Amino acid sequence: MSHVIQDSSLSAKVYVAPSFEPARRLGRFRPRTSSLCNKPFSFPRCCHLCSSCCIPSRLGCSPRPRWLAHPTFTPPYPSTSSRPFFELWSERDYLLTLRQWEALTSKRVRVEGFAVGVKALVTFAVVARGGERWALLAFGVGQAAYGLTLLVGLRWSVQRIRGAIQAPSIWSLQKLVAPPTEFTDIQAPPTRRRFDPELTSLGWALTKQSFIKQILTEADKIAISQLSTSRDQGGYALALNYGSLIARILFQPLEESSRLYFSRQLSTRPSHTLMASLLLLHTHLSLIFILLVPPYIPALLYHLLGQRWAASSATSILQAYFFYLPFLALNGITEAYFQAIASQANLRKGSYWMGVCSIGFVAAVGVGTRMGWAERGLIMANCVNMAMRIGFSLKFIWRDAKGVECLQLRNWTPRIPTVIVFTGAGSIVRWSAGTWDWKSLTGLVRHVAVGTLVGLGCLAFTFVMERRRVASLYQLIKAKSE
């Protein structure tokens, strides 16, 4: 069932995400006069309404593949596709919370957390009422409940300070004249033009880049639907959902916060120090994900989901996914800096390079298919794609911050003794996985205890080796808070 759910949400993600990201990145854009942009709401909403009406009829008329022939697939589509509509409608309020981040960030986080809770409760209620027969419908209703809660919550939060911001029509692309803040000393004069030329040009550059980026993001899901059986698609979806929890919980907040910080500070010493510290953090987390975590994946799936899933392809796919997480993390933070600092010309170059990355992804998928790597080959292809994007962003960073010592490669990569210690720790946890019977409670406790002791030892050693860089990061955070 999970692979069908994954496919049912794919269409909603594909045509809404290119509308979200350019607008949000425009909202973080800081030209010489600090301002906030309002995005063209009419076009994405009209496109969404048309697709919401046309796709269900197309699904009913066209020859149906095996996964689409599921009797409960089409009915949940309207409720599933309503989530992007509600989120598009709330985008201006989301951008205002970014602009007034001192007053509204905590409110936005509470609204998003409450929306997640509502989605979970609604999904559970529908499943409890109808059982497995209503599983897809429960998924769709939960998505709609999330979007509606987000829309109402953000609108309520923004309306409480609506007098502080002069908002233009939602059917235009103009700059929002915001009240002065500690970051703002010059105000942009209001304009009567419906489409601000500067923001229109920048928005078009960001839209092209986001469209290619979205294709690359969803390409593995499209490929897996063509290359694998339904059972393997379910295993891939399960591994992807569990593995992406770390990305959503840990990496996404760091990426969003750092992008906002970089766009305000631009290419300054605090930005360089923060960038180097985040790169140092991510490279050390990569040692944990690659060397320490994979031996615990079989035990995790066995005790969490049972023998059936632990014996499926989900185990090997999830282990490969933890090899992919470091690429995902480094790409997020380096692209955040690039998108916050780059000019329109550099953004165009980034769009062209993403086109090259798509070619590299397709070539890597072909090699993986010939080698018989199946789903793991798709993850390796994503690693190739991310590595190419990281290389482009790092080249820009080194050129932009030429001569900055803290951003040199040797200053944010793990030292050789640290790598040796983590490698030895990885050998110990793999020995533990092969020695203890982690299917029993006693064996599981021993296996986890070994990993805990080894992990704490690695963290202590890392702190000793990196104490100076940790101290400099602490001073940066302390100075920022004061």
- The predicted structure's pLDDT at residue 70: 54
Distance CA 236, CA 244 (A): 12
Q: Residue 460's pLDDT band (boundaries 50, 70, 90)?
A: very high
- The predicted structure's pLDDT at residue 425: 94
The pTM (predicted TM-score) of the whole model is 0.68
Residue 41 identity (one-letter amino acid): F
Q: CA triplet 248, 250, 253: central angle to 5 degrees?
A: 75
What's the chain's length in residues? 482
Find, among 49, 74, 48, the residue nearest to 59 by Cα: 74
| 340 neighbors 274 (Cβ within 8 angstroms) | no
Helices within 62-196 (DSSP H only) = 77-89, 91-99, 101-130, 135-159
Q: Which residue has the higher pLDDT, 317 or 133?
A: 317
Candidate from 58-62, 106-110, 222-226, 361-365 with smallest mean pLDDT: 58-62
Distance CA 288, CA 282 (A): 10
How far is residue 186 CA from its own chain's centroid? 33
Q: Is the pLDDT assigned to residue 377 strictly greater than 70?
A: yes
Q: Which residue has the higher pLDDT, 280 or 241?
A: 280
Question: DSSP assignment, residue 439?
Answer: T
User: What is the average per-residue pLDDT within 401-426?
Assistant: 85
Distance CA 51, CA 68 (A): 18
Q: Is the pLDDT assigned to residue 45 strictly greater than 70?
A: no
Sorted by sequence, the CB contacts under 8 Å of residue 386 that are 6+ apart come out as 324, 327, 328, 330, 331
User: What is the average per-residue pLDDT within 366-385?
Assistant: 82
Q: In b/e form, how buried is each residue of 11-36, taking b as 16+ CB within 10 angstroms?
A: bbebbbbbbbbbbbbbbbbbeeebbb
Q: Which residue has the higher pLDDT, 235 or 333?
A: 333
- The predicted structure's pLDDT at residue 288: 93
Find, among 306, 286, 291, the residue nearest to 454 by Cα: 291
Sorted by sequence, the CB contacts under 8 Å of residue 429 that are 6+ apart come out as 292, 295, 296, 450, 451, 454
Token pair of 169 as six digits: 């029509």
User: What is the average per-residue pLDDT within 313-335?
Assistant: 89
Strand partners, 34: 187
